[in-house]
């Protein structure tokens, strides 16, 4: 089990030997754009620890964000990450951003956009285009989402990188817009690019499992209409994002990123209820399709996640039972109409 936030962040930022080798083989600095979100801080810590382990103090990790939470910024500084305050939605020229050989693009918006989609498109598509032009001479790993795929049957194993996209709603469409402008930059400038279609990274302070376990604990209804989900340990997701720089090409590599399991929402809730000693309040019935992502290629390239769903659920129920820190950042994984 995971004792506290300190141990959790240690787990999330412990590099594998493969990551150390990959990052230390490169030259120049690594810039992470949008580093202040849910995944960014531990990704930056992971990269910094990998470079330190490999004896590459000449390669800096530079985290770029507005930094609305100064405590996060201070933690990153203590971990050897250089932080830069920059509002990518502001009016400052992107030329002021630091130079980099490698870039991880994590900028994105999702929630609260149903009634006003214009800022969503600006954040998810326009900012990506501006960043791609600024870093046209770098390698770029760009986060996208599995939401660009249509729903599929749970027996299918999930959508693969070869399947046609079919985004539902403004969020999914604007994220596909991000992919399109990044692809345009790769074609125009020859920028090596990897697009990472992520489905539900989880750690113990937020994520699908935290949503389900807290609902079970509190006796709130859980709609099983979503049917099935994919989740992936955030430490693995961060590592793959960094290592995916090594497969970036101007032809654009598309990489699905999630865990190997197709998980039943009903079964997760019932298992959480068993661990917590509370019968879950389940409503609805499973739809015939779900948002599912097949990451077999990712696992072939980078190995399977070192922490799988059964362990993640045990950690999560233990964390919830003990009153561990939880962020108020629901995933809204139950949404099927694309309105977030």
Report residue 336's pLDDT band, with 50, 70 and 90 as the boundaries. Answer: confident
Report residue 115's pLDDT band, with 50, 70 and 90 as the boundaries. Answer: confident
Residue 109's pLDDT is 82
Asked whether residue 271 is domain-assigned, the answer is no
Residue 113's pLDDT is 62
Tell me how long the chain is.
340
Asked whether residue 278 is domain-assigned, the answer is no
Q: Is-contact 202 210, C-beta < 8 A?
A: yes
Place of tokens 């490698």: 102
Report residue 112's pLDDT band, with 50, 70 and 90 as the boundaries. Answer: low
Round the average pLDDT of the chain to a whole number and report it.
95
- The H-or-E segment that residue 84 falls in is strand 82-85
CATH assignment at residue 171: 3.40.50.720
Asked whether residue 319 is domain-assigned, the answer is no
Report residue 331's pLDDT band, with 50, 70 and 90 as the boundaries. Answer: very high
> pLDDT tens, 174-187?
999 999 999 999 99
Place of tokens 């937020």: 206
State mean pLDDT over 312-321: 98
> pLDDT tens, 132-171?
999 999 999 999 999 999 999 999 999 999 999 999 999 9
The CA-based dihedral angle spanning residues 236, 72, 245, 292, taken in that order and rounded to the nearest 10 degrees = 50
Query: How many domains does the structure of the chain reveal?
Result: 1
> pLDDT tens, 198-235?
999 999 999 999 999 999 999 999 999 999 999 999 99
State mean pLDDT over 66-72: 93
Residue 93's pLDDT is 97
Q: Examine the pLDDT at 114 and tell me if it is beyond 70.
A: no
Asked whether residue 174 is domain-assigned, the answer is yes
Residue 335's pLDDT is 82
* Nearby residues of 310 by Cβ (< 8 Å), 6 or more positions away: none
Helix residue ranges, H only, the chain: 5-12, 17-24, 40-53, 70-78, 118-121, 127-134, 169-189, 208-218, 234-243, 265-276, 296-302, 309-321
Asked whether residue 321 is domain-assigned, the answer is no
Asked whether residue 337 is domain-assigned, the answer is no
As to burial, measured by CB atoms within 10 angstroms (0-12 exposed, 13-18 middle, 19+ buried), residue 124 is buried
> pLDDT tens, 249-289?
999 999 999 999 999 999 999 999 999 999 999 999 999 99
> pLDDT tens, 38-63?
999 999 999 999 999 999 999 999 99
Using alpha carbons, list the distances in angstroms from residue 331 to 201, 207, 229.
10, 6, 12
Nearest by Cα to 201 from 132, 161, 143, 248: 143
Q: Which domain holds residue 72?
A: 5-201+234-258+292-306
> pLDDT tens, 12-37?
999 999 999 999 999 999 999 999 99
Q: How many beta carbons lie within 10 A of that of residue 102, not counting itself?
A: 25
Residue 337's pLDDT is 79
Asked whether residue 151 is domain-assigned, the answer is yes
Asked whether residue 155 is domain-assigned, the answer is yes
């Amino acid at each position: 089990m995971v004792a506290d936030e300190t141990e959790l962040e240690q787990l999330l930022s412990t590099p594998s030997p493969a990551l150390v080798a990959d990052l230390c083989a490169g030259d120049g600095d690594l810039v992470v754009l949008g580093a202040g979100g849910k995944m960014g801080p531990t990704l930056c810590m992971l990269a910094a620890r990998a470079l330190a382990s490999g004896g590459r103090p000449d390669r800096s990790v530079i985290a770029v964000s507005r930094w609305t939470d100064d405590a996060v910024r201070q933690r990153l500084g203590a971990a050897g990450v250089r932080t830069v305050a920059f509002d990518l939605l502001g009016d400052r020229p992107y030329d002021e951003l630091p130079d980099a050989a490698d870039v991880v693009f994590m900028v994105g918006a999702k929630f609260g956009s149903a009634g006003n989609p214009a800022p969503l498109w600006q954040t998810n598509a326009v900012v990506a285009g501006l960043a791609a032009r600024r870093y046209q001479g770098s390698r770029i790993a760009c986060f996208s989402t599995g939401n660009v795929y249509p729903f599929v049957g749970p027996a299918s194993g999930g959508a693969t990188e070869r399947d046609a996209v079919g985004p539902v709603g403004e969020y999914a469409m604007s994220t596909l817009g991000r992919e399109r402008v990044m692809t345009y930059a790769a074609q125009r400038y020859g920028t090596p690019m990897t697009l990472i279609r992520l489905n539900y990274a989880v750690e113990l302070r937020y994520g699908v499992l935290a949503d389900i376990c807290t609902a079970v604990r509190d006796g709130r209804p859980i709609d099983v209409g979503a049917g099935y989900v994919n989740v992936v340990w955030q430490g693995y997701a961060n590592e793959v994002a960094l290592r995916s720089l090594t497969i970036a090409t101007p032809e654009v590599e598309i990489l699905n990123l999630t865990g190997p399991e197709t998980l039943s929402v009903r079964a997760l809730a019932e298992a959480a209820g068993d661990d917590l000693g509370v019968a879950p309040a389940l409503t609805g019935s499973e739809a015939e399709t779900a948002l599912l992502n097949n990451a077999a290629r990712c696992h072939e390239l980078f190995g399977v996640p070192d922490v799988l769903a059964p362990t993640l659920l045990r950690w999560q129920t233990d964390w919830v039972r003990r009153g561990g820190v939880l962020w108020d950042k629901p995933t809204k994984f139950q949404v099927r109409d694309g309105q977030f």
